Amino acid sequence: MAAVLKGHALWLDPLSSTNWFDTRQTQIFLILVENTVGVFLLFGLVSVMLWRTALLLYAAFLIYSFVLGVSGSSSCGCFGKATIHPWITFGLDALAIFLLWTFRQQFTDSARERPWVAHLIRHPVVFVLGSLLLLSVGAMSQYLVRPPADLFANTAIEPIEHDFGMVNQMEELQHEFQFINHLDKPVTITHLHSSCGCTTALELAGHTVAPRSRCAIPVIMESGSGEGKKSGVITVFFKSDHQSQAAWHACSVKSQVQIDYHLSADWIDFGTIEQCSSETRIVQFKPASFTEAKILDFEVTDQRFHVTKKAQQDGVEFLEMTFQPSNLLRRETVTALLTIKTNSPRVPVKSIVLQAATNPLEEIDTKAIVIGSDVAGTVKKIITLRSSKPTTYRAQCQHPNIFCAAAEGVVDGKGTLEIQ
């Protein structure tokens, strides 16, 4: 069913090559593979090799559906123009894998009853002929689903590419492309496809371009906050009257984004803290295209990360971050967000993720000590500490009459702490 719907969609509306999965070659290959495996399973021409192939195929579909589901896609594209949510296809693929694994013995038994099937599939001559047949059918299918040549030859987009050059971050860049129709008949734009979220075009679906005329296609590119090269592709699909296949032309935009300032890191890992000593990291803030950029203020969401501003050197500002764990008796991962406020007009706020982990003593045998009432003199209690590796500890008492004989020490294997 999936292969039939893919073929129907490919016949009515051929896809462009802006995405590897959406290319005609990929879709035709999937159609041929799905049809081949489906026919063998439908007519009972089963073997162990076919079972493995089907299992790997559904496992690939399962992973692909999972990725689409996590990314928030509304349709998996597995059933052509039919909109099926990726999590639904994920469940169907998981069910198929479960059934294949549950009834795997039947494939083995069938292979024993009809060994000629396995021998036929493995025969080199059959493999070569089958491969040539698949390639021939694929080439023919690609030719059949391709629109008439005059749609490509007598239409165009000018210019094919536009370079915005060096731009600042967080800018909205716009350029107007021209779709030109040299035919003696009108063409209708069916839809537009963008290769990325940073590049969009005015929705012209249903717009008709008259014979020997043109129409404007405004394209907008968001430069974003990142530095470096940025590009996007807009593909325009169109048809002429009484033709089911769509033709397409693509245009692209690109730019070189320069940023107002540099931050040496946007994510900092303090590692695992196994001792009572603190860990320190340094972040550099350096002006770039906005030469007057400087830090105005900063704040951190967890006070265990202590942030201070150090002296400026050669126009570079430094932020020193120190992590001091508050409780080494509990294993945990601490994550905080450092927000830096700047005077940049385009990126006034920048955030850095801070992360640290604590690895405490593995065991303390006593969590509470009861002294009792009517007790005179000095009372001593012993707490046993255990650790699989040398670990420094520090003991703190919150009452003036209670203190530790050895408030600091190192535990290597097993140690004791005396409380008085």
Which domain, by its residues, includes 72?
A: 2-146
* Residue 399 scores a pLDDT above 90: no
Average pLDDT over residues 383-396: 74
Same domain, yes or no, for 19 and 123?
yes
- Taking the C-alpha atoms of residue 102 and residue 127, their distance in angstroms, rounded to an integer, is 29
* Residue 62 scores a pLDDT above 60: yes
* Residue 94 scores a pLDDT above 90: no
Same domain, yes or no, for 347 and 411?
no
- Taking the C-alpha atoms of residue 335 and residue 356, their distance in angstroms, rounded to an integer, is 7
Q: When comparing pLDDT for 34 and 209, which is higher?
A: 209
- Taking the C-alpha atoms of residue 390 and residue 411, their distance in angstroms, rounded to an integer, is 6
Same domain, yes or no, for 202 and 322?
no
* Residue 179 scores a pLDDT above 90: yes
CA distances from 95 to 55, 76, 84, 225, 270 (A): 11, 17, 16, 43, 43
Quote the pLDDT of residue 18: 44
> Taking CA 203 as the corner, what is the angle to CA 159 and CA 236, rounded to the nearest 5 degrees?
45
Quote the pLDDT of residue 16: 44
Same domain, yes or no, for 371 and 399?
yes
Same domain, yes or no, for 347 and 391?
no
Same domain, yes or no, for 82 and 205?
no
Which residue, of 221, 237, 258, is where some domain finishes? Answer: 258
Same domain, yes or no, for 211 and 244?
yes
Which residue, of 326, 358, 390, is where some domain finishes? Answer: 358
Same domain, yes or no, for 197 and 213?
yes
Quote the pLDDT of residue 291: 86
**C-alpha torsion 61→67→69→75, nearest 10:** -60
Same domain, yes or no, for 60 and 190?
no
Q: Quick one: tokens of 76? A: 């998996």
* Residue 362 scores a pLDDT above 60: no
Quote the pLDDT of residue 92: 82
Which residue, of 146, 172, 189, is where some domain finishes? Answer: 146
Annotate the chain with three-state secondary structure.
CHHHHHHHHHHHCCCCCCCHHHCHHHHHHHHHHHHHHHHHHHCCCCCHHHHHHHHHHHHHHHHHHHHHHHHCCCCCCCCCCCCCCHHHHHHHHHHHHHHHHHCHHHHHHHHHHCHHHHHHHHCHHHHHHHHHHHHHHHHHHHHHHCCCHHHHHCEEEECCEEEEEEEECCCEEEEEEEEEECCCCCEEEEEEEECCCCEEECCCCCCEECCCEEEEEEEEEECCCCCEEEEEEEEEEEEECCCCCCEEEEEEEEEEEECCEEECCCEEEEEEECCCCCEEEEEEEEECCCCCCCEEEEEECCCCEEEEEEEEECCEEEEEEEECCCCCCCCEEEEEEEEEEECCCCCCEEEEEEEEEECCCCEECCCCCCCCCCCCCCCCEEEEEEEEEEEEEECCCCCCCCCECCCEEEEEEEEEEEEC
The most confident of 40-44, 205-209, 272-276, by mean pLDDT: 205-209
Quote the pLDDT of residue 143: 47
Per the structure, how many domains does the chain have? 4
Same domain, yes or no, for 225 and 352?
no
Average pLDDT over residues 349-376: 75
Mean pLDDT for the chain?
76
Same domain, yes or no, for 32 and 115?
yes
* Residue 66 scores a pLDDT above 70: yes
Same domain, yes or no, for 158 and 190?
yes
Q: Kindly indicate the confidence band of residue 398, based on its pLDDT and cuts at 50, 70 and 90.
A: confident
* Side-chain-facing half-sphere of 61: CA atoms under 13 Å: 25
Query: Minimum mean pLDDT among 100-104, 107-111, 305-309, 385-389: which range?
Result: 107-111
The most confident of 68-77, 341-350, 374-383, by mean pLDDT: 341-350
Q: When comparing pLDDT for 45 and 161, which is higher?
A: 161
* Residue 336 scores a pLDDT above 70: yes
Closest CA to 168 of 64, 260, 275, 69: 260
CATH code, 326: 2.60.40.10
